Chains A and B, each alone.
Chain A
Amino acid sequence: MDSERLGWKLAAIAGLAVVMALGLPRLIDPYYVHVVDVTLINVVIAIGLNLVLGFGGQISFAQSAFFGIGAYTFGALQAHGWPAIAAASVAVVLTACIGALLGWPALRLRGHYLALATIAFSLIMGELMVDLDMITGGANGMMNIQGLGLARDDIAMLPILLAVAAVGIGASVVFASSPAGLRVRAFRDNAIAAQAAGVNIRALKIGLFVASAVYASVAGVCYCCLLGYISPDVFAWQTTFAYFAMVVVGGLGSNLGAPLGAMLYTLVPEWLRFLQEAYFVIFGTVVIIVIAVMPGGMAGLVTGLFDRLCRALRPRPVAKATPEGTP
């Protein structure tokens, strides 16, 4: 029963990706294809953050740093002539190792302290991206990253990014219903009870940081491939709050929420562009309203409406027959 539902979910994700890959280039103009590409990169970052923040309940502001480490490692290795596949693999593995190293001290930290430690980490990494100018190109960043040779070709990158996002979401969906996903929920619900149940919560906590680092570094590689250049402001520590907002507004601990949050955060600004500066007021207000009135975030709203729709469409023979059937 459950595995059947899992199969349907994965099929739906793959199907949606294929439909978007085929349909979008025909339906919308090239500029918006670029916006969709950027959105997909944010979806991958947000899904990764949701693992540690949503499922694990661990406040992490390290996502912008992981994103940057992935992108810069890929860019630097390519500058030394590494092929894309090799550079990407090393970038992801290196970021994962740094994720594990961050996870280690995080074992002793919780709540606000963990939040502060991860902000500090993002701050340090953001500074290093500027200061290590031998490797990173300093404030100018890196130009002409080879990538897949598709830089600035938004339409060609679309199916690739859709595939990456679909695999990323799919993996998170599988994880959520797996025994390990159940253990993470147990850890979030009650860490001491999880320990008493024999769950190794240290391994889980480090694993969550590693997983979020892997997603962010994959997004970093994708970003290099899409734009062909990087500059440190994209990975500045302040941007980490954007990813945090995506996950919270989308719905913590929901595989639907993180993509919805990323879409809201990336697409809505485009629609509201004509408002210029006033846009921030509108967008900020929307975020506050979502947080205040929707406990499950946007995902909670969507699944709530979906459930209601299902109930409205499904006939209820027993409940209806009694009051009307007896005159």
Chain B
Amino acid sequence: MTDILRTQGLTRAFGGLVALRDVDLAVSEGTIHAVIGPNGSGKTTLFNVISGIYPPTAGKVEFLGRDAVGRRPEALADMGLGRTFQSSRLFMSMSVLETVLVVLHRRGFALTISAAARRRALEILDFVGLRDLADTACASLPQGQRRLLEIAKVLALDPKLVLLDEPHGGLNHAETARLIDTIRDMRRQGLTILLIEHEMDVVMQLADEITVLNFGERLAHGTPAEIQGNEAVVEAYLGSAGETAVAPPHAQTDTSRLLDVRGLSVRFGDIEAVRGIDLHVAPGEIVSVLGNNGAGKSTTLKAISRLLPASGEVMFNGADLLHQRTEKLVGLGVALVPERRRLFGGMSVLDNLRVGAYGRPPAEVQEVMAEVLDLFPSLKRLAGLLAASLSGGEQQMLAIGRALMSRPRLLMLDEPSLGLAPMLVDQVFAKLADINARGTAVLLVEQNARMALAVSHRAYVLASGRVVAEGDAKTLAADESVKNAYLGIAA
């Protein structure tokens, strides 16, 4: 088999930070090759260098036997190197069909869109299962379908090699299964695939070969079986490898209601995204809100934190939050860790934390800062760095730390495990248990139902904007029908 892509001694530094060091990689034609590694290990940088977005500091990249360094991204794309992005980059003013058409019509001076391109676009959409949504606006697609459209976009290049950067991030069980089928179909049609992926189930099912990166260097390389047995990999990356290492929540006896939501509804134009949800959180309790993509989980959280207009009643500690301005919520004792963290990237770690305690007397800020750094010792080491330069896991810790700086009575988190390596997911959930043990109530929206149920006292399962199941976390975790229908935990 010939190598379609080869890198030799590939190095990329950003100032003093070496994101990739001396990486050798060979991808054989017609295979699925996975790149795994902890957050911040250089996987996405590797993709960016290969696809021409940054030049390498040193080293060689060969694509189809030709030197790829110095070629512009669009030239490489045209040669047959397609890629997707970790957070999908769609053309938000376009429809699904237009998105594929623009790729098919990426060159030339045609005045109108050809019928042949239209046919081919529909074929591609059919292949990824989006044909029925051809006229839908990209902006209104849920996460799962955005991922599929990213793949459709790449296929429209008629590529030889496809780089997929965490294609299944944010997808549920059924969507992931569909994506795996699509990727297999792509290989069957002769494509070579290079894949960054965190979900080890997915990697093991798909990959022919695996390269493991750690701190920008190649830690290991081999077949899935070899990698699973590699001790260095287990230590650096896999952690407890799927077995939940989190302690069960402490006993919870307080039955009063710190947060009491009744009849919460949110409309987006004609669509009712959240329809009359009731939920409550007791002081000191961890409660999860689970469900498929588009079930209304994040919307519920945003409505409670007044980031979206909503109707109904949200009583927190005696005040109706729906009649408060968003910035007042922090003063009342509610803090939100938003989806994708939303850190202040241009500010240092310490400054990000300070912003979290905005308006408090300096002595108190010092005190809370000490508490937070005690809880997240890794942030001490990073104190002076810009938030944007942290890896995903570190950013998540910082986002949680920032929220804690306001000493909230209720901490709300939107998908804290999104895009994190398995070991880091364990760490984040362990921290949540710690925070809860110190007396803070937690309301958690999460895709990773297994982990969320393991740390929670109670949980709500949403579907189509309604609560379809609720109760004790252990009971829900044991309920096969709920698991299969909504949580995507393979039985």
Residues from chain A with a CB closer than 8 A to the CB of B153 are 193, 197
B107 and A197 contact, CB distance less than 8 A = no
Chain B contacts for A140, CB-based, 8 A: none
Interface string of B104-125 (1 = CB under 8 A from A): 0111111111000000000000
Is B113 within 8 A of A193, CB to CB? no
- B94 and A190: CB pair below 8 A? no
- B92 contacts chain A at the CB level, 8 A cutoff: yes
A192 CB contacts on chain B under 8 angstroms: 53, 73, 85, 89
B78, closest chain A residue (CB): A198
Counting CB contacts under 8 A, is B157 at the interface? yes
Q: Establish whether residues A189 and B112, one from each chain, have CB atoms under 8 Å apart when the complex forms.
A: no
Contact in complex: A199, B74 (CB < 8 Å): yes
A195 in contact (CB, < 8 A): yes
Task: Report yes or no: B105 in contact with A179, Cβ–Cβ below 8 A.
Answer: yes
CA distance A179 to B101 in the complex (A): 8
Q: A179 near B74 (CB under 8 angstroms)? A: no
List the B residue with the shortest CB-CB distance to A174.
Answer: B111
Task: Tell me the A181-229 residues at the B interface (CB within 8 Å).
Answer: 182-183, 185-186, 188-190, 192-202
Given A192-B53, A196-B51, A196-B83: A179 and B108 interface contact (C-beta under 8 Å) = yes
Q: Which residues of B contact A190 (CB under 8 A)?
A: 89-92
- Tally of chain A residues near chain B (CB < 8 A): 26
Question: Which one, B74, B93, B101, contacts A195 given CB within 8 A?
Answer: B74
Other-chain contact of A201, B74, B83, B89 (Cβ < 8 Å): B74
Closest to A193 in B: B89
A194 nearest CB across to chain B (Å): 8
Decide if B103 touches A197 in the complex (CB within 8 Å). Answer: yes
Cβ of B272 to closest chain A Cβ, rounded Å: 17
Q: For the complex, is A277 an interface residue (Cβ under 8 Å from B)?
A: no
Contacts A186-B94, A189-B94, A198-B157: A178 and B77 contacting too (C-beta < 8 A)? Answer: no
Asked whether B92 lies within 8 Å of A179 as measured between CB atoms, the reply is no
Q: Within the assembled complex, what's the spacing in Å between the Cα atoms of A202 and B75?
A: 12
Task: Check A182/B105 contact, CB under 8 A, given A193-B85, A196-B73, A196-B77.
Answer: yes
B89 A182 Cβ-Cβ under 8 A: no
| Contact across chains for A195 and B73 when beta carbons are under 8 A apart | yes
Contact of A2 (CB < 8 Å), options: B94, B111, B113, B157: B113
A193 touches B109 (CB 8 A): no
Tell me the bound Cα distance from A196 to B102 in angstroms.
Answer: 12
Q: Is B98 an interface residue (CB 8 A)?
A: yes
Whole-angstrom CA separation of A212 from B107 in the bound complex: 21
Task: Report B113-157 residues with CB < 8 Å from chain A CB.
Answer: 113, 153, 156-157
Q: Report the minimum CB–CB distance from A19 to chain B (whole Å).
A: 27
**Least distance between B146 CB and chain A CB atoms (Å):** 12
- A3: Cβ under 8 A from any B Cβ: yes
Q: Mark B71-101, 1 if CB is under 8 A from A, else 0.
A: 0111001100011010001111110001001
Asked whether A177 is an interface residue with its Cβ less than 8 Å from the other chain, the reply is yes
Minimum CB distance partner of A179 in chain B? B105
In the complex, which range does the number of interface residues on chain B fall in? 20 to 34
Q: Report yes or no: A180 in contact with B109, Cβ–Cβ below 8 A.
A: yes
Q: How far is the CA of A194 from the CA of B105 in the complex (A)?
A: 12
Q: In the complex, how many angstroms separate the beta carbon of B284 from the nearest chain A beta carbon? A: 44
CA distance A202 to B72 in the complex (A): 10
Q: Is the CB of A197 within 8 A of B102?
A: yes
User: In the bound complex, how far is the Cα of B78 from the Cα of A186, in angstroms?
Assistant: 16
Contact A197 B157 (CB under 8 A): yes
Are the C-beta atoms of A182 and B102 separated by less than 8 Å?
yes
Is there contact, CB below 8 Å, between B110 and A198?
no
Choose from A2, A3, A174, A183 the contact partner of B102 (Cβ within 8 Å).
Answer: A183
Which residues, 276 to 306 on B, are CB-close (under 8 Å) to A? none
Smallest CB separation, A170 vs chain B (Å): 12
* Contact A183-B105, Cβ < 8 Å, known A178-B111, A196-B73, A201-B74: yes
Contact check, A182 vs B98: say whether CB atoms are below 8 A apart: yes
Complex contacts, B109 vs chain A, CB 8 Å: 180
Contact B91 A193 (CB under 8 A): yes
Q: Which residues of A contact B103 (CB under 8 A)?
A: 197-198
What's the nearest-Cβ distance from chain B to residue A68, in Å? Answer: 30
B110–A179 touching, CB < 8 Å = yes
Q: Which of A82-135 contact B (CB under 8 A)?
A: none
Please name all residues of chain A whose beta carbon is closer than 8 Å to the beta carbon of B102 when the two chains form the complex: 179, 182-183, 185-186, 194, 197, 199
Contact of B107 among A2, A188, A194, A200 (CB under 8 A): A200
Q: Cα distance A207–B221 when bound, in Å?
A: 46
Chain A residues near B83: list those with CB within 8 A.
Answer: 196
Contact A198 B91 (CB under 8 A): no
In the complex, chain A residues whose CB is within 8 Å of the CB of B108: 179
The listed residue with most B CB atoms (<10 A of its CB), out of A177, A182, A183, is A182
List B contacts of A178 (CB < 8 A).
110-113
- A residues 71-85 touching B (CB-CB < 8 Å): none
Q: Quote the shortest CB–CB distance from A220 to chain B (angstroms).
A: 27
Query: In the complex, what residues of A have CB within 8 A of residue B51's CB?
Result: 196
B53, B83, B106, B156: residue with the most chain A Cβ atoms closer than 10 Å:
B106
**Which residues of B are found within 8 Å of A179, using beta-carbon distances?**
101-102, 105, 108, 110, 112-113
Q: Are A193 and B90 also in contact (CB < 8 A) when A178-B111, A198-B103 are?
A: yes
Chain A residues contacting B101 (CB-CB under 8 Å) are: 179, 182
**Contacting residues, chain A, for B77 (C-beta < 8 A):** 195-198
Q: Give Cα distance in the complex from A189 to B51, angstroms.
A: 20
The smallest C-beta distance from A327 to any residue of chain B, in angstroms, reads 27
Cα-based distance from A185 to B101 in the complex (angstroms): 12
A residues less than 8 Å from B89 (CB atoms): 190, 192-193, 196
CB distance from B237 to the nearest CB of A (A): 27
Most A C-beta atoms less than 10 A away, residue of B83, B93, B111: B111
Q: How far is the CB of A95 from chain B (nearest CB, A)?
A: 22
**Which B residues are in CB contact (< 8 Å) with A183?**
102, 105-106
- Closest chain A CB from B196 CB (angstroms): 15
**CB within 8 Å of A: which of B443-483?**
none
Instruction: Give, as a whole number of angstroms, the nearest-CB distance from B110 to chain A.
Output: 5
For the complex formed, measure the closest distance between the CB of A252 and the CB atoms of chain B, giving whole angstroms: 11
B106: nearest chain-A partner, CB-CB? A198
Q: Is the CB of A199 within 8 A of B91?
A: no
For the complex, give the distance between the alpha carbons of A22 and B319 in Å. Answer: 68
Within the complex, the shortest CB–CB distance from A83 to chain B, in Å, comes to 31
Q: Which residues of A contact B157 (CB under 8 A)?
A: 197-198
Extra contacts, 15 of them, besides A189-B94, A195-B74 (Cβ < 8 A), are A2-B113, A177-B112, A178-B110, A178-B113, A179-B105, A182-B113, A185-B91, A185-B94, A190-B90, A193-B89, A194-B102, A196-B73, A197-B156, A198-B103, A198-B106
The 4 A-B residue pairs whose C-beta atoms are closest, nearest first, are A179-B105, A193-B89, A198-B77, A198-B106
Hey, which bits of chain B sit against chain A, CB under 8 A?
51, 53, 72-74, 77-78, 82-83, 85, 89-94, 98, 101-103, 105-113, 153, 156-157
A-B contact pairs, 12 of them (CB 8 A): A3-B112, A179-B108, A182-B94, A185-B102, A186-B102, A193-B89, A195-B74, A197-B77, A197-B102, A198-B78, A198-B103, A199-B102
